Amino acid sequence: MTVVDPSEAEFYLQHLNYYRIGAYWLQFESDHTSHRFRPGTDFREVLNLYKFDRELRLLVLDALERFEVSVRTQWAYQLAHRHGPHAHMDASLAFRRDKWTSNREALENEVGRSEETFIRHLIETYAESLPPVWAVCEVMSLGLLSRWYANLKPMSTRSAIAAVYGIDQAVLQSWLHHLTVVRNVCAHHSRLWNREFSVTPKLPHKPADLTSQFARNSRKIYNALLILLHCMDQIAPTHQWRKKLLGLIEEYPVPITAMGFPENWKRQPLWREK
C-alpha cells in the first residue's frame, strides 16, 4: 500500500483501531492470506472509503430517527383510540402471552430508567402500573417497538398503522425488524457500506411501481435506503434526505455495487429528486 504522508497515516491509526480501518482495505487486497495489496493501492483510498461510511451511517441515523418517532406516534395513537389509554397493559391484544410479558417487562425497565420529566410526573402522580400509551411510547427503543408491533394481534390496528406508510402490516413488521438491525449497526459505529444483513426486509407486493424498485434477493444496504426514502416521502414530503444521500454518493466515488446498488438505480422513481 502506498502511504504518501506517513504522519497522516500515523495520526489516523492513532485514533482508528487497526481492525476498524482494516475492514475497509480488505477489498484492496489481491491475496488475503498474505495481506498483499493490488498495485497502486493508496492509504488515502482506504481513508476515503472509511469517511464515506461514517457519513452514510450518520445520514441513515437521521432518517431512522424520523421513521422511529413516526411509528411510535402511530402505535400510540391507534392503540389509544381503538383500545384505550392503557392498551399496552392488555394481554388479550397480543398474539402470544409470553412475548407480551417479556415486552412489558422490557418497557417497565425502560420507563424505570427514564429521567424524562413527564415520565417522573406521571409515576409520582398516578397509581398505575405504567403510564398511558402516549407517554410510554416516547421511551421505547426501536427494537422494543418492533417486537411489540410484531406481537400486536388486532389486524385492523396493525393495518391502520401500516397504512400511514402506504404498505401492508406484514411488510411494516418486517421493515421494523430489519431497520432495528440497521440502526444497531449505525449506533455501534460499525461498517455499513458493504455489510450483508442476516435479517432482510420483506418486499412490498403493492403498489407495483414501488415493488419493482427493490433489489431481489439482496442482503445489502440498498433496500434499506429505498425503505427510508419511501418512508421519508410519506412522513416528511419536503425533506432534503434524498438530496443529501445523492450528494454523498457523488462526493465520495466509492464502489456502490458493494452496497447492492443495481446498474439502473438512478432511473428508479424513488431516486428522482422531488
Task: Quote the CA–CA distance of 49 and 42 in Å, as a whole number.
Answer: 11
Closest CA to 24 of 2, 61, 53: 53
pLDDT tens column, 29-41: 888 788 889 998 9
Q: Which grid coordinates are listed for 217?
A: 434477493
Report the DSSP beta bridge partners of residue 37: 29
Name the band, by pLDDT with cuts 50, 70 and 90, for residue 207. confident
pTM greater than the 0.85 cutoff: yes
Name the band, by pLDDT with cuts 50, 70 and 90, for residue 127. confident
pLDDT tens column, 52-93: 999 999 999 999 999 999 999 999 999 999 999 999 999 999
Name the band, by pLDDT with cuts 50, 70 and 90, for residue 19. confident
Say which DSSP state 188 is in: T
* Maximum Cα–Cα distance across the chain: 70
Torsion of CA 22, 28, 33, 34, to 10 degrees: -90
Domain ranges of the chain: 6-46, 54-271
For residue 251, pLDDT over 90 is answered with yes
Name the band, by pLDDT with cuts 50, 70 and 90, for residue 273. confident
**91-99 long-range contacts, CB within 8 A, separation 24+:** 92/153, 93/152, 93/153, 93/154, 93/157, 94/151, 94/152, 94/153, 95/151, 95/152, 95/153, 96/151, 99/147, 99/151
Q: Which grid coordinates are listed for 94?
A: 397480543
